[in-house]
Amino acid sequence: MPTFTCFNKLPPELRHMVWNEALLEEVESRFVLVHRVSMKVLPHKKTNKSAILAANQESRGRALKFYDMQLEVWTFAPIEVDHKRELDLFAETH
């Protein structure tokens, strides 16, 4: 993937315009499943986080202004699985 190493040397106004355009493009392909009653984000394998939120401090600031609503993510307690026990039980029944 080609990189543009002079991006940080551009004037801030121009960099902000680039980040805003990237956010407009990104929002068209984002998939977020929201529970209609609780308004919590439901984890889903197709849910994708904004890469612009994680690129750098400046991009994160632009993204936080762009995505002006924050939704709580619905969390589930992790399920502990004893894989050895499950395999032993499977072997006993087959």
Is residue 15, in this structure, part of any structural domain at all?
A: yes
Domain count, the chain: 1
Residue 42 belongs to a domain: yes
Three-state helix/strand/coil letters over the chain: CCCCCCHHHCCHHHHHHHHHHHHHHHHCCCCCEECCCCCCEECCCCCCCCHHHHHCHHHHHHHHHHCCCCCCECCCCCCCCCHHHHHHHHHHHC
Let me know if residue 1 belongs to a domain. Answer: no
Domain presence at residue 44: yes
Domain span at residue 14 reads: 7-93
**In terms of pTM, does the model score above 0.75?**
no
Q: 42 φ, ψ to 5°?
A: -95, 120
| 54: helix, strand or coil | helix
Q: Using one digit for the tens of pLDDT, what is the confidence trace for 3-54?
A: 878 999 999 999 999 999 999 998 887 777 788 888 888 777 666 678 898 8
Domain assignment present for 16: yes
